Amino acid sequence: MTIRIYNTLSGKREPLKTLEPGHIKLYVCGITSYDYCHIGHARSALAFDMIVRYLRYRDYKVTYVRNFTDIDDKIIARAKEQNCSSDELAKRFIDEFYIDMDKLGIDRPDIEPKATDHIAEMTEIIGELIDKGIAYQAGNDVYYVVDRFPEYGKLSGRNLEEMKAGARIAVNEQKHNPMDFVLWKGSKPGEPTWDSPWGPGRPGWHIECSAMSRKYLGTTFDMHGGGKDLIFPHHENEIAQSEAANGKPFVTTWVHHGFVTIRDEKMSKSLGNFLTIRDILFHYHPEILRFFVFSTQYRNPLDFSESAMQDAASGLERLYKCVAGVEDLDPDSGVEEAQTVLIDGDKIKIGSMEERFQNAMDNDFNTAQAQGIFFDSVKAINRSVKNLPTTPARTDIVFLKSGVTTLKKLADIMGLLREDARDFLTAIKQQLLSEITIDETVINTMIAERNQCRIDKNWVRSDEIRDELLANNIELKDGPTGTEWTVKKS
RNA sequence: GGCGGCGUAGCCAAGUGGCUAAGGCAGUGGUCUGCAAAACCAUUAUUCAGCGGUUCGACUCCGCUCGCCGCCUCCA
């Protein structure tokens, strides 16, 4: 099977092709660091983390570059508000970004260039564009001549005439054409500034990525990613800059992920409807957020809500409970001579898990379908464990344990089931416990009293205690090894 | 207005023209249990926004209508 990926450039799912056999060069647009990251940023980082991990699992070598935009109008404005330098502000939020990424268990890309470290590479490209007559200096700024790039609009499916007609961009006297975009901005007093052949200034946003991708991945590379909102103008402009400067195709496959929405509206700072990553991680285990993010295919919108997070938590718990159950099985309790009790249908489901997972993931990284396969396999594993006799066949135990090993290996590609199952279930319990009023020692005292009542067959009092605990969101579970309790989700 | 996407059960969500429309959450019935809970079993879409068309056959392709969303300005 080959991996098929939706390419924004062609509008179709295409078999993955690489310029060098077995090697994928990937560039992803990272954050502009001027504030804490919200869940939308988390989705972006998670999506490409999953993609890179899957490609590596499929034996591709991946060179993954993700940049930081650390110079930009918003950074300058925010730094002014906070009375610090834009450099300090950008550095601070890069540190905060790493804190969030580490908590989410996201691997670092291979290369993480910062815009301010690559000014020379940017002025070099701008110079090349000016030499080719594709850029012009106007006042202290340098602009790109959109009319000189005939393929402008090929990524976003627009044409220049329509865009000019509907242009909503503020009129800028300096520009020859309203669609021309800035490559170099002359500096205003008090702004960070770098020297250039066109006077002191700073780079425009789009040129960063053209310069840094060329430095680290070459003039033509395999894959470029980002959010759907970057298709126009950012990625369109990158193509225009890079292809005009290099005279070569820029990127083979463009990968764009969907937004996180709240009540079906895009999460954004201007609407004020965003939640930061740390807001979420305050209430939920990081794997719950990951599970939630991967419950939908990466290109579709993902609507955030408390109830969706609760559903995700319940689902993930189900997976962990299965793992815990199988890990509790003692291989020494199995005997060679016992007959298998596994039914064929379950054996097939468990045995084909990896192949089915690959089919789902090969189809444009369909994590939603892949999660379905996890659950389908878990159902088969749970059913098999349930049917195990007191002296089970050793082969059955070995088979189920290998099923769980496979499950964990595959789930790890989405960053799931990385924790020890018992620890995870305990951590979830503690998290929920911290949000209610009852104390753990009180619970244990009440359980002890209830168990005495149960021995005495005082069912009335025993049920009273259980109801009391339930009123405090504590649910009891009487098992062969004693009474366990869980915090009921409200 | 231009361009793009989406509309599948109470909610979420797969489904790359053809075997019984995955899976999760929630619900209901059963097994287990003193009763519960968990787990397991069973069950929940004659139907895929609506209407036409292509086809031997369409949730899947085409057209129109309705509804929602995004981009066109910084944006993951």
CB neighbourhood size of A237 (10 A): 24
The one-character DSSP state at A174 is T
A28: which nucleotide lies closest, measuring CA to C1'? Answer: B76
C1' of B48 to CA of A363 (Å): 21
Sequence letter at residue A487: V
C1' of B61 to CA of A425 (Å): 48
Q: Provide CATH 1.20.120.640 ranges for chain A.
A: 314-425
CA neighbor of A281 nearest in space, from A39, A32, A106: A39
Q: What pLDDT is recorded for position A446?
A: 94
Q: Provide CATH 3.40.50.620 ranges for chain A.
A: 4-277
A44: which nucleotide lies closest, measuring CA to C1'? Answer: B76
C1' of B46 to CA of A47 (Å): 39
Q: Which residues of A368-387 are buried (b: 16+ CB within 10 A; e: fewer)?
A: eebbebbeebbebbbebbee
C1' of B52 to CA of A35 (Å): 52
Nucleotides on chain B that have an atom closer than 7 A to a protein CB are 1-6, 11-16, 22-26, 33-41, 68-76
- What CA–CA distance (Å, rounded) separates A312 from A287? 9
A459: which nucleotide lies closest, measuring CA to C1'? Answer: B34
Decide yes or no: CATH 1.10.150.240 for domain A4-277.
no
Query: CB of A370 within 8 A of CB of A298?
Result: no
Q: What pLDDT is recorded for position A242?
A: 98
Each residue's pLDDT tens digit in chain A (490 positions)? Answer: 699 999 999 989 999 999 999 999 999 999 999 999 999 999 999 999 999 999 999 999 999 999 999 999 999 999 999 999 999 999 999 999 999 999 999 999 999 999 999 999 999 999 999 999 999 999 999 999 999 999 999 999 888 887 776 555 555 667 888 889 999 999 988 899 999 999 999 999 999 999 999 999 999 999 999 999 999 999 999 999 999 999 999 999 999 999 999 988 999 877 888 999 999 999 899 999 999 999 999 999 999 999 999 999 999 999 999 999 999 898 888 899 888 999 999 999 999 999 999 999 999 999 999 999 999 999 999 999 998 988 899 999 999 999 999 999 999 999 999 999 999 998 888 888 887 778 889 999 999 999 999 999 999 999 999 988 888 888 888 887 788 888 876 5
A29: which nucleotide lies closest, measuring CA to C1'? Answer: B76
A372: which nucleotide lies closest, measuring CA to C1'? Answer: B23
C1' of B35 to CA of A474 (Å): 17
Q: CATH assignment of A314-425?
A: 1.20.120.640
How much is the ipTM here? 0.95
- What CA–CA distance (Å, rounded) separates A176 from A267? 35
Q: What pLDDT is recorded for position A268?
A: 83
Nucleotide B41, nearest residue via CA and C1': A383
C1' of B64 to CA of A262 (Å): 32
CB hemisphere CA count around A321 (13 angstroms):
13
A485: which nucleotide lies closest, measuring CA to C1'? Answer: B37
C1' of B19 to CA of A388 (Å): 33
